[in-house]
Amino acid sequence: MWSGAFVCVFDMEYANILMLKRKHNKEWEDKGGWGNVGGSVEPGETPVQACIREAREETGIGLDPANLTLVHIRRVPHSEPYEYVIHFYATAIDGDTAIVLNDESSEYRWFSLDSLPDNMLDDKKEILEWRDIFASLLKKK
């Protein structure tokens, strides 16, 4: 079973999301390639640890695990061609934070949640739902 962990990186007002244009996966490129920070959970790693590692590798951003909020878990059961589970987290950073891409992405962009690109790897409706979950959980803290 494959396990993945991704993090939706919002700005501090939760109005914009950082997206990476992926280039190493043909399926992602065919879909347009805009996706969240993240990837595979390595053996012995928790999904949170994977998010932190992937964020540093893919963007140069150092995330604090205390600031990651679980917003969704997607499971594809064993009845499908292959089984996987993906944990989706959310966090907020200053929109002026320096981004340093590795070779997995060709560019990054902050997208307004009012004008998300059509060619995203994740569903627009889900992104907005995850932002709402994230914002509501933060208000409760």
- Residue positions annotated with a catalytic role: 107
DSSP state of 41: P
User: CA 72, CA 74: separation in Å to the nearest integer?
Assistant: 7
Query: How far, CA to CA in Å, does 141 sit from each of 29, 45, 74?
Result: 39, 27, 25
Q: Which of 11, 14, 48, 18 is nearest to 139 (CA)?
A: 14
Q: Are 111 and 16 in contact (CB under 8 A)?
A: yes
Q: Are 12 and 97 in contact (CB under 8 A)?
A: no
Q: How many Å separate Cα 121 from the centre of its chain?
A: 10
